[in-house]
Amino acid sequence: MIYFNNVSKNYKDSRALDDVTFTVTAGEFVSIVGHSGAGKTTLTKMILADENPTEGTVFFESINVHKLRNSDLTKLRRRIGVVFQDFKLLSNKTAYENIAFAMEAAGKTDEEIANDVPHVLELVDLGNKILHFPNQLSGGEQQRLAIARAIINQPELIIADEPTGNLDPINTHEVVQILKKINDLGTTIILTTHNRGVIDSVGKRVITMENGKIVRDSKEGNRL
């Protein structure tokens, strides 16, 4: 599904990625772990074509993402859901409206929105918070709402960039369990984290990065 072929990324004073090659197959749950500055976020931005490689190529299926025209890139990004560390919710909209907004942007009908939003809120255990605004939700609840927004249009891939970085252990566990549930339903997950406890609890494939390089690729997190 995702293929990095000898990808490097240079900035003026640093090398964020250094000859990175790996493949993610459809349906996998892959954690990318490393300290701050290891290259995790740059790597995920490459998939979305938010960053261009200095060398190498990035493929989504058979598509070279950095050769796409803007209109085709927009279509590709609709196949990918993104979850951020800082939630990026719309503060003036309720939980329902935050998700409905994402559906409207994808051209969904009012009927589809009315049918699907309550269902996805139930999936992330927020069915009773449908009319709450973000500031009325805990940090964990806000992140679960962000996950609901990311999956509402049924993307093939979820990129979760440090989604538990601002959460306590209990909320971290809940978010990880929801991501595992989504993966069990068939969605590919790429999770970046520096939290060893997170990758151990996932128990799936782990790619470890240091200084822009992949230094380890393990089948199970608890075997690192």
pLDDT one-digit tens code per residue, 164-177: 888 989 899 999 99
The CA-based angle 140-35-141, given to 5 degrees, is 5
Q: How far apart are CA 99 and CA 151, in angstroms?
A: 9
Q: How far apart are CA 173 and CA 22, in angstroms?
A: 28
pLDDT attached to residue 178: 93
pLDDT attached to residue 221: 62
Beta strands in the chain (DSSP E): 2-10, 15-24, 29-33, 55-60, 63-64, 80-83, 157-161, 188-193, 205-210, 213-218
pLDDT attached to residue 223: 44
The CA-based angle 9-34-60, given to 5 degrees, is 50
Residue 187, pLDDT > 70, answer yes
Each residue's pLDDT tens digit, 128-185: 999 999 999 999 999 999 999 999 999 999 999 999 888 989 899 999 999 999 999 9
Each residue's pLDDT tens digit, 31-55: 999 988 899 999 999 999 999 999 9
pLDDT attached to residue 13: 87
CATH top-level class for 2-223? alpha beta
In the predicted model, what is the mean pLDDT of the chain?
A: 93
The backbone torsions φ and ψ at residue 28, rounded to the nearest 5 degrees and listed phi first, read: -75, 155
pTM of the model: 0.91
pLDDT attached to residue 200: 86
pLDDT attached to residue 224: 44
